[in-house]
Homo-oligomer: A and B are copies of this chain.
Amino acid sequence: MAATDARARILEAACDLIAADGIDAVRIARVATRARASTSLVHHYFSTREELLEEALVHSYEQVGDERFGDDPESRTATGALAEAIDECLPLPGAQERGWVLWVELWLRAVRSPELRPVAVRLYGRYSEWMQSVIRAGVESGEFRSGVDTEAAARTTMALIDGFGVRCLIRDPNMDLERARSLVARELAAELGIEIESLVVRPMEV
């Protein structure tokens, strides 16, 4: 029905604007315009701006999580799946950069709003589970050396991705996406006992 349709449009518009301009810069009037609705309609569905933004944020993070950690790998090999995983987590232009920006925004707000921390922590939990499962698959299939501490490997990989990813995000000339990828791959290859080339040969999907 048209009802829920308008509501969904408003929420979607709010998410777009949050990612584009930052939460604080989101104006109800702009959300309304983008959702082809009046400001009153926005207020009909969400009594306050705060309420709208809160729901939009949660919606955004679910979406970011699903995008990144949801889909199955295309590769048949665990090594290929791992290479895909790394690429999916770096701030490639487009949807992934958008996801990254929301992610950073969440870090920042979680510091100041304790009620947001569980959202961030949950997202890290999904991230970690997913990364561990990719690595575990390779250990079980025998592609990676046996005895790998899956949890530790995943944790380090995530930290490296986050650390290098941020530098890509700010367009640090000393750190572009290719470099971030190969640096993460190097550490991981050493840890898993595979050749670094097997992780970085593919062209980067943009």
Task: Sort chain A's interface into a size bin.
Answer: 35 or more
Chief secondary structure at chain A's binding surface: helix
A111 touches B170 (CB 8 A): yes
Write out the residue numbers on chain B whose beta carbons fall within 8 Å of the beta carbon of A164.
159
B170 touches A183 (CB 8 A): no
Identical chains in the assembly: 2
In angstroms, how far is the closest chain B Cβ from the Cβ of A15?
16
Interface residues of A in 99-142 (CB under 8 A from B): 101, 104-108, 110-112, 114, 117, 120-121, 124-125, 128
Q: Is A94 an interface residue (CB 8 A)?
A: no
A156 touches B167 (CB 8 A): no
Residues of A that sit less than 8 Å from B by CB = 21-22, 24-25, 97, 101, 104-108, 110-112, 114, 117, 120-121, 124-125, 128, 155-156, 158-164, 166-167, 169-174, 183, 187
